[in-house]
Amino acid sequence: MSLQSDIESTQQKFPNDPIFTQLRRLAAERPGLLFHDEYGIDAGYSHLIRDVKHMRQVLRAQLPSSLFNEKGCLTHATSIAFLSFSGYYYIPTDTNAN
């Protein structure tokens, strides 16, 4: 495996953080739809994981590469503000992306 493909593989993984560990576990234990909001969004934990991964890709594409280390993680604690609808859309991502 090349260094570049190893970095790309690492960038697709979630950090070993309790919130992501719990999310992965719940996605395996509770497949199917779990969220239904007033805007007609129906989603499950697997959708949430997909949308978080998509948002990470969007941020990497939009932010300067100098903000990321060799593993694709932000080098400094950074706050990112966003404005969205309430409900499932609290995740700032295009939920229509595949």
The 10s digit of each residue's pLDDT in 27-66 is 888 888 888 878 888 888 888 888 888 888 888 888 888 8
More confident residue, 90 or 61: 61
Amino acid at site 30: R
Instruction: For the chain, list the strands marked E by DSSP.
Output: 35-36, 42-43
Is the pLDDT reported for residue 84 higher than 60?
A: yes
Q: Tell me if 54 sits within 8 A of 91, measured CB to CB.
A: no
Long-range CB pairs of 28-35 (<8 Å, 24+ gap) are 35/88
Is the pLDDT reported for residue 92 higher than 50?
A: no
pTM of the model: 0.61
Distance, CA of 56 to CA of 19 (rounded, Å) = 16
Is the pLDDT reported for residue 97 higher than 60?
A: no
How much is the pLDDT for 34?
82
